[in-house]
Amino acid sequence: MLSGMIDRVEQAKALASDVRLLILGWLKDPAAHFSHQVTGDPAEIGVCVTLLTAKLGMSQPTVSRHLEILRRAGFLRVRKIGRWSFFARDEAALSDYKDWLRDTL
């Protein structure tokens, strides 16, 4: 990926996974799917990896790998609080990809 350029191939790859589409779907309405998060409002600070891991029923390394692919594509933002990582959608990046696809494809 050249500096300053958005990697559209990496973004398409990030969307090529049922698990990652599921994660993006849940994070659209985090309060509905992760209402039991105790550390802050999930709509505010994002959703903790441990809750995503529990909901997916997968190992944490696997879930972390999926989250990292989405983060590298620009579709998720991460916020670290203490030893926990909280993930939220980057709506601007998601809209940007959809706009680019609509105009280019």
Give the residues lining the site for a copy of itself (CB under 8 A). 8-10, 12-13, 15-18, 21, 24-25, 94, 97-98, 101-102, 104-105
Minimum CB distance to a copy of itself, residue 21 (Å): 7
User: Least Å distance between CB 49 and a copy of itself?
Assistant: 21
Alpha helices for the chain (secondary structure H): 8-14, 18-28, 30-33, 42-45, 49-56, 60-72, 91-104
C-alpha to C-alpha distance for 99 and 3, rounded to whole angstroms = 21
19 vs 43 by CB, closer to a copy of itself: 19
